[in-house]
Structure 1
């Protein structure tokens, strides 16, 4: 079974040093398996992790690396990719009237997520930006927006996708910025919604200004 797994990883390259002794199998060496492609340990029938090695060419030099070394290299690469991707921001945007005054579920979703982050001691990664400056990069979006506009911005792409589906009447995109201050920069705008002449719902309307808890922190 183990031999077939190794052969699948690199057909035709299984060496003769893979031999069976009773119920124990030793796979001492496998040649030419790419270290990035092999990123999981193999386990023997008796639950022992096999000491699997791979021979790779690195700048013309032949090196033998263990699976653990290969996995560490892959993890380091993945970490670098994540750090590079940390400059990417995702957002949904709509006019302020819809986002802050008409869509009643939006406030509930925002405060529920804030509560979740506080319980788990997680750093907040989502903000509301009124009249964000980054909208200048998206003329196809701005021409469809009533102003003033409000964007929900986050570094969490899948969550923003969820919010797009949940809110429905919003536009969704992403952009990159060198730092969070640049990413959340906004144009000074006063938001004020008049009280409705007639309120028929059995519950009290949300008070104006509830969104201030989610605005980016002010910088000196």
Structure 2
């Protein structure tokens, strides 16, 4: 692989919880505005049905999270820690990508409509 392997951090939850029960849109809007005010490049992404959960090392994590799931993936550990403190009922962790098991960190299993 030519692309350099990086560490990505994530917050994982059920889509119903994060996108319907939590005021999560407001959290993302607040964070996006903060990045813009500070001229910081966006380094977080919302991924429905994240493909990294299909890697064998994530079998236990996938079992713990109600499906369908959604992840906020970032290269910024502090942002993910901040989200974890702000939200309840979420799982957090990290992974390296690209790797043999995870070819693209932001890949989704959800098909576009």
TM-score (norm 1): 0.44
Match of 1:166 in 2: 86
Match of 2:104 in 1: 182
Higher relative contact order (CA 8 A, sep 6+): 2
Paired residue total: 105
Equivalents in 2 of 1:166, 1:120: separation in Å? 21
Closer/same/farther in 2, CA of residues 183 and 149 from structure 1, 3 Å limit: same
Equivalents in 2 of 1:114, 1:99: separation in Å? 17
| Pair 1:91-2:13 in alignment | no
CA RMSD of aligned residues (A): 2.2
Equivalents in 2 of 1:169, 1:184: separation in Å? 22
How far 1:166 sits from its partner (Å)? 1.3
Equivalents in 2 of 1:151, 1:185: separation in Å? 11
Matches of residues 150-165 of structure 1 in structure 2 within 5 Å? 150-165=70-85
SS of residue matched to 1:176 = strand
Equivalents in 2 of 1:136, 1:110: separation in Å? 26
Equivalents in 1 of 2:39, 2:82: separation in Å? 22
Equivalents in 1 of 2:61, 2:9: separation in Å? 14
How far 1:107 sits from its partner (Å)? 1.8
Match of 1:123 in 2: 41
| Pair 1:100-2:31 in alignment | no
Larger Rg: 1
| Pair 1:149-2:42 in alignment | no
How far 1:178 sits from its partner (Å)? 2.7
Equivalents in 2 of 1:163, 1:188: separation in Å? 23
How far 1:139 sits from its partner (Å)? 0.9
Match of 1:19 in 2: none
